[in-house]
């Protein structure tokens, strides 16, 4: 990278950048020799880790870098989060397998739209869909000379103005109708998504689940990854398997039962615990990763 770019060094002990950016919560980060390239709102940024330091470079003047620190949750106290986890064998194994895994704090619309596209899709495919959405409907973002062009995540208004066939060209299949309708709802009301910040979890979840294509799981992902409700525990197929075989081996447990167990067992940072179990399952499941 050029040495004239705006840059900052962030103290990041107990932070594993690669694991965090690759753990299936955000879908746009790409690894190059120079580091992880991504877009946060309308800013391009390149990140790489040197031991206990994360080095960030931006393409434009970065102000106080709060937009980045907030996204990375660089000031979160991971040790005190881990201290609230239950001390059973399964959780200990997950924690030791995922050292430095953090939860990001994402922009709500990008998070919501991405997870609407995520249903019964592998993470590689979700990345592909999101990438195509940005290329077709996003705006070009300022990048340093010599860096591949990159685009912002398209606004709800921009997606709402698209047609369903256009969205299907991004290979999202039946999810196109959901995304289009939800974009329409979100774009129609000023601050539709902002209002959720002031609500309690059950009310915010209820509002999200009014949106087409948003059920309990996707709503919970948005509450956790975008709004920072750390108690929320999304149950997907991986976590369901994890709970089943780690906590209820040799018996079939309904998904409602598993959700109830999770909500009562993992404490105030259950969502964090969920991400550890999710990643643990994915790196320790049979055929290598994925």
Min CB(209)–DNA separation in Å: 6
Q: 8 in helix, strand or coil? A: strand
Question: With binding defined as CB under 7 A, does residue 4 bind DNA?
Answer: no
Q: Which of 286, 287, 271 is nearest to 236 (CA)?
A: 271
Q: How far apart are CA 208 and CA 70, in angstroms?
A: 23
Question: With binding defined as CB under 7 A, does residue 231 bind DNA?
Answer: no
Q: Which of 55, 123, 147, 283 binds DNA (CB under 7 A)?
A: 123
Residue pair 176/137 in contact by the 8 Å Cβ criterion: no
| Footprint on residues 70-99 left by DNA (CB under 7 A) | none
Min CB(168)–DNA separation in Å: 5
Q: Which of 166, 170, 203, 285 is nearest to 237 (CA)?
A: 285
Q: 37 in helix, strand or coil? A: strand
Q: Which of 57, 111, 234, 243 binds DNA (CB under 7 A)?
A: 234
Could you write out the DSSP letters of every residue in 98-135? STT-------HHHHHHHHHTTTT--HHHHHHHHHHHHH
Half-sphere exposure of 90 (CA within 13 A, CB side): 21
- Site map (CB under 7 A) of DNA, residues 167-186, x = contact: -x--x-xx---x--------
| Footprint on residues 23-52 left by DNA (CB under 7 A) | 23-25
CA-CA distances (angstroms) from residue 34 to 54, 83, 179? 13, 35, 34
Q: Which of 65, 67, 192, 238 binds DNA (CB under 7 A)?
A: 238
Distance between first and last Cα of the chain: 31
Question: With binding defined as CB under 7 A, does residue 165 bind DNA?
Answer: no
Q: Which of 257, 214, 234, 39 is nearest to 116 (CA)?
A: 214
Q: Which of 17, 56, 126, 179 binds DNA (CB under 7 A)?
A: 126
Question: With binding defined as CB under 7 A, does residue 105 bind DNA?
Answer: no
Which residues does residue 44 pair with via DSSP β-bridges, in sequence order? Answer: 39
Q: Which is nearer to DNA, 57 or 107 (CB)?
A: 107
Question: With binding defined as CB under 7 A, does residue 265 bind DNA?
Answer: no
Q: How far apart are CA 40 and CA 25, in angstroms?
A: 14
Q: Which is nearer to DNA, 93 or 147 (CB)?
A: 93
* Contact residues for 211 (Cβ-Cβ < 8 A; gap 6+): 112, 181, 182, 185, 186
Residue span binding DNA (CB under 7 A) among the ranges 34-42, 58-66, 114-122, 140-148: 114-122
Question: With binding defined as CB under 7 A, does residue 228 bind DNA?
Answer: no
Min CB(25)–DNA separation in Å: 4
Q: Which is nearer to DNA, 37 or 217 (CB)?
A: 217
Q: Which of 63, 86, 189, 215 binds DNA (CB under 7 A)?
A: 215
Q: Which is nearer to DNA, 77 or 164 (CB)?
A: 164
Question: With binding defined as CB under 7 A, does residue 236 bind DNA?
Answer: yes
Q: Binding residues for DNA, how many (CB under 7 A)?
A: 43
Residue pair 276/91 in contact by the 8 Å Cβ criterion: yes
Using CB under 7 A, list all residues that contact DNA: 23-25, 115, 118-126, 128, 168, 171, 173-174, 178, 209, 211-219, 221, 234-239, 254, 256, 274-275, 278, 287, 290
């Amino acid at each position: 990278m050029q040495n004239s770019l705006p840059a900052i060094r962030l103290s990041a002990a107990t932070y594993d950048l690669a694991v965090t950016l690759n753990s299936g919560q955000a879908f746009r980060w790409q690894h190059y020799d120079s580091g992880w390239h991504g877009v946060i709102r309308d800013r391009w940024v390149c990140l790489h880790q040197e031991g206990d330091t994360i080095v960030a470079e931006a393409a434009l003047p970065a102000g106080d870098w709060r937009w980045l620190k907030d996204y990375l949750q660089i000031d979160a106290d991971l040790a005190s989060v881990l201290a609230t986890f239950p001390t059973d064998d399964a959780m200990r194994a997950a924690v030791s397998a995922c050292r430095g895994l953090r939860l990001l704090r994402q922009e709500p619309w990008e998070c919501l739209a991405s997870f609407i596209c995520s249903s019964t899709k592998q993470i590689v495919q979700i990345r592909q869909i999101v990438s195509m959405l940005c290329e077709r409907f996003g705006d070009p973002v300022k990048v340093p000379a010599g860096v591949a062009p990159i685009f912002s995540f398209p606004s709800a208004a921009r997606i709402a103005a698209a047609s369903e066939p256009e969205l299907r060209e991004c290979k999202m299949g039946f999810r196109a109708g959901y995304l289009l309708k939800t974009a329409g709802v979100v774009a129609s009301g000023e601050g539709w998504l902002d209002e959720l910040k002031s609500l309690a979890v059950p009310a915010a979840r209820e509002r999200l689940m009014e949106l087409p294509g948003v059920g309990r799981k996707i709503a919970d992902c948005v509450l956790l990854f975008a709004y920072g409700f750390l108690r929320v525990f999304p149950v997907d197929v991986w976590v369901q398997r994890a709970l089943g075989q780690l906590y209820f081996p040799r018996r079939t447990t309904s998904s409602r039962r598993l959700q109830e167990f999770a909500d009562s067992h993992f404490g105030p940072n259950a969502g964090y615990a969920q991400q550890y179990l999710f990643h643990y399952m994915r790196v320790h499941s049979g055929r290598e990763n994925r």
